[in-house]
Amino acid sequence: MNTAFARNLETLMAKEGMTQAGLAVAIGVSNQLVSKWLSGEVKAPRGDNLEAIASLFRLRRPFDIMSDGGVDYLLGESTAETHAPYTTSSQAPLYGRIAAGTPIGMIPVRDRIWCPPDVLEAHPRGFFLRVEGESMNRVLPNGSLAFVDPELNVESGQIAALNVNGCDATVKRVLFGSTSVTLVPMSYDASFRDKLYDRANPNDDTISLIGRVVWRMFPSEEL
């Protein structure tokens, strides 16, 4: 049990106005794990989780967060001088209906949703789409937010946002053939089946790629 880590983490979160749920989303762990860190129920993180926390707070000496003398350093040298405060201004647009061929900039924004700063930095033109239905519930449960980068190429086997014949956006795993595109559901419900579209057939439906899904947020994680 590392109570020094719990105290220091709580101090950093309070300094930046960060919630427990916000920290969990930002570093990609469960809310329950953050709660156990703060209560001292589980030991301080190592490896990727510690690096994620250090990156989020921009700590130059990340292991100070695990020592009894670390609070003074964390409040003084690191947080005061080396990073901007955590803020809910780190947001990305949530778009509504997206018709084929319509530029993203022309679509009305329904809302703006908090997004981890590192995700926005890596994908500055990214945006959210709300997933509706159960066809992707193995990876994107109903109500989840899919974060989409319209500037990334979509390769076969990746999850992408797209639309069919100009209808509302959908999210599926995409497989490319020589003249075909297959949309693959990832659902626990076996009634959802693959759908193949023949690009060489002028009478078949038209597929328009919107962008690659690069991140996700479950409904319970929204701030």
CATH class label, 3-82: mainly alpha
Q: How many CA atoms lie within 13 Å of 111's alpha carbon, on the beta-carbon side?
A: 9
Q: E strands along the chain, which residues?
A: 91-95, 109-114, 127-130, 145-149, 159-164, 170-176, 180-184, 195-198, 207-217
Predicted pLDDT of residue 86: 36
d(CA 125, CA 132): 23
Number of H helices, E strands in the chain: 7, 9
Predicted pLDDT of residue 107: 63
Residue of 164, 135, 157, 159 lying closest to 147 (CA atoms): 159
CATH class label, 91-221: mainly beta
Domain 3-82 shares a fold with domain 91-221: no
Domain ranges of the chain: 3-82, 91-221
What are the structure tokens assigned to 129, written together? 């789409």
Question: Consecutive sets of 10 residues in the chain, 223 residues long: mean pLDDT of each?
Answer: 76 80 83 88 77 75 65 46 42 74 61 84 89 88 89 91 78 91 91 89 84 82 49
Predicted pLDDT of residue 29: 84
What are the structure tokens assigned to 159, written together? 């999850």
The CA distances from residue 93 to 20, 129, 149, 214, in Å, are 23, 9, 12, 15
Q: Is the pTM of this model over 0.85?
A: no
